[in-house]
Amino acid sequence: MDLVYLHGFASGPDGHKARHCRAWAEAHGIAFHAPDLNLPDFEHLTVTAQVEAVEALVRSLPEPPVLVGSSMGGLVAAAVARRGVPVASLILLAPAFGFARRRLAGRRWAGYRKRGTMPTFHHAYEGWRTLGPSLLPDLPLWQDDDTWQVDVPVAILHGRADESVPLAESQAFARRHPQARLQVLEDDHGLLAPESLKALDQRLAEAFSLGA
């Protein structure tokens, strides 16, 4: 069983948590994948392109993998599982549920909705990039995530001090999914505190039946 890590918005497959998961997988002899989700590129980014790319990757693997999704990658992971692509389980790190709803109505993205472009600091490129208009018409396709049902085991880690994705989004998801396990951590959106990474390691070990 493979481990697939899905990075967040304006990030890439070699961020801190991706490297942490890669090191964990290598230490346990587990095949690791971290696709670049800036698809088709960051300027023309859509959620649909991300979901379809992950679906294709998952279907190419010899057996259903464990998906670890961070922020927007968590949204993509849940979307893939919801659409019936076989996955063993999900580990969602501050999953960006409500991403489309907040971008379509929130004040922070009002300028993007008006102009169709937005300068964005991209952590993978370590510089500013322009998000183009392709995302805007794609967002309505993904704004109903508050109704999704995901029929696989789900573990969620979310920081109490998260200022990017409301903790309430993960709490609502957990209420809809009795099989989901939500752990609230004393951390921010990055979930890079030692205790948060320790909790991630614990969820990984459980997902791969490796014990504590």
Give per-residue pLDDT as tens, 164-206. Answer: 999 999 999 999 998 899 999 999 999 999 999 999 999 999 9
The pLDDT > 70 percentage for the chain reads 99
Helices (H), the chain: 16-27, 47-60, 72-82, 99-105, 110-115, 135-138, 167-176, 194-207
Give pLDDT, residue 31.
98
Which residue ranges form the domains of the chain, and what is each CATH number?
Answer: 3-98+144-207 (3.40.50.1820)
User: Is the pLDDT reported for residue 212 higher than 60?
Assistant: no
What is the CA 131 to chain-centroid distance, rounded? 19
User: Is the pLDDT reported for residue 138 higher than 80?
Assistant: yes
Instruction: Tell me how far apart the alpha carbons of residues 67 and 6 are, in angstroms, rounded to a whole number.
Output: 7
| 27-71: pLDDT as tens digits | 999 999 999 999 999 999 999 999 999 999 999 999 999 999 999
Question: What's the chain's average pLDDT?
Answer: 96
User: Is the pLDDT reported for residue 156 higher than 70?
Assistant: yes
> pLDDT grade, residue 74 (50/70/90)?
very high
User: Is the pLDDT reported for residue 211 higher than 70?
Assistant: no
Instruction: Tell me how far apart the alpha carbons of residues 54 and 59 are, in angstroms, rounded to a whole number.
Output: 9
Give pLDDT, residue 174.
97
Pairing state of beta strands 118-122 and 127-131? antiparallel
Average pLDDT over residues 100-112: 93
Is the separation of the CB atoms in 58 and 49 below 8 Å?
no
Instruction: Tell me how far apart the alpha carbons of residues 59 and 57 are, in angstroms, rounded to a whole number.
Output: 6
| 108-119: pLDDT as tens digits | 899 999 999 999
Is the separation of the CB atoms in 74 and 94 below 8 Å?
yes
